[in-house]
Chains A and B, each alone.
Chain A
Amino acid sequence: MTETIIFYMLSAVILLSALGVVLLPGLMHSALCLGLCLAGVAGIFASLGSDFIFAAQILVYVGGIAVLILFVVLLAANASEKMTRQISEAWLPSLLICSAFFWAFLKVTRYFSGLSAQTAPSPSVKAIAALLLGEYAVPFELISIVLLASMTGAVLFGRRKAE
């Protein structure tokens, strides 16, 4: 019962803040709503019993990506955007595409409806470490190369031009 109440409260937070990200005209409000939405998704991970993903979501998404987007909003936004239109004029076809997608998604996932969990969640950090350093060691090293390349690319794009 408590689980159900917590799930619906987290869902309300996630959906309302996601709508805020998409629909609010001011970019600053959108970025703050994005942080709230990511924190709500972290709560969903916690309610699913995945402790390490919960911590990683808080650290990387809420602490890293949301703050990074806030910085860029502060650098690139101007005050006139609250007056101008932020949604393109093709919103009606987009709405049709989105509803068609959601209908198809419900049709596909109807096969899994009513499945409930049999076992209680257990701590997952040790098993994830065994997977990352054993079976998935090569992708784990490759992803570090990707991070290094993205950092180098960000520095390359962000530096000033040589005078």
Chain B
Amino acid sequence: MTLSHYLVLSGLVFTIGLFGVLTRRNIIGILMSIELMLNAANINFVAFNRFLYPGQYIGHTTVIFIITLAAAEVVVGLALVMAIYKNLKSVYVEDYNILKG
């Protein structure tokens, strides 16, 4: 196994997540696609740490921080989604225009 195998895999997962963020109409689907993109970045961190810096673990530490931040992000994001859903009764992003003043 070479490094480029893992890089191509993570690039594909990131691209799929990017496509989801750009095209999903559902806000929960967009949040799930963001999780895919974060996971692709995690694969990259661990693969670079394994292939370029064996014996050091800074990439692993960064991945732990990313996982924690992703958990915090999804908690706040889903709480916001539920708060908006209680008011607007819709999960589609084109209906979310309550900030227009």
Taking Cβ atoms with an 8 Å cutoff, the residues of A that contact B are: 3-4, 7, 11, 14-15, 18-19, 21-22, 27, 30-31, 34, 37-38, 41, 44-45, 48-50, 52-53, 56-57, 60-61, 64-65, 68-69, 72-73, 75-77, 81, 85-88, 90-91, 94-95, 97-99, 101-102, 105-106, 109-110, 112-119, 121-122, 124, 127-128, 131-132, 136, 139, 143, 146-147, 149-151, 153-155, 157-158
Which size bracket describes the interface of B in this complex?
35 or more
Cα A76 to Cα B28 with chains together (Å): 9
Please determine whether B7 and A157 come into contact, CB atoms closer than 8 angstroms. Answer: no
In the complex, the 4 A-B pairs of residues with the closest C-beta atoms, listed nearest first: A22-B20, A150-B72, A94-B22, A154-B79
Taking Cβ atoms with an 8 Å cutoff, the residues of B that contact A are: 1-9, 11-20, 22-26, 28-29, 31-33, 35-36, 39, 42-43, 46-47, 49-52, 54-58, 60-61, 63-65, 67-76, 78-83, 85, 91
Please determine whether A3 and B1 come into contact, CB atoms closer than 8 angstroms. Answer: yes
Please determine whether A30 and B32 come into contact, CB atoms closer than 8 angstroms. Answer: yes
Please determine whether A112 and B7 come into contact, CB atoms closer than 8 angstroms. Answer: yes
Please determine whether A157 and B11 come into contact, CB atoms closer than 8 angstroms. Answer: no
Q: When the two chains form the complex, which single residue of B7, B13, B35 contacts A65, counting CB atoms closer than 8 Å? A: B35
Quote the shortest CB–CB distance from A129 to chain B (angstroms): 10
Please determine whether B39 and A37 come into contact, CB atoms closer than 8 angstroms. Answer: yes
Please determine whether A72 and B82 come into contact, CB atoms closer than 8 angstroms. Answer: yes
Please determine whether B19 and A69 come into contact, CB atoms closer than 8 angstroms. Answer: no
Cα A42 to Cα B78 with chains together (Å): 23
Please determine whether B33 and A112 come into contact, CB atoms closer than 8 angstroms. Answer: no
With contact pairs A18-B36, A57-B67, A102-B12 given, residues A86 and B54 touching in the complex (Cβ less than 8 Å): no
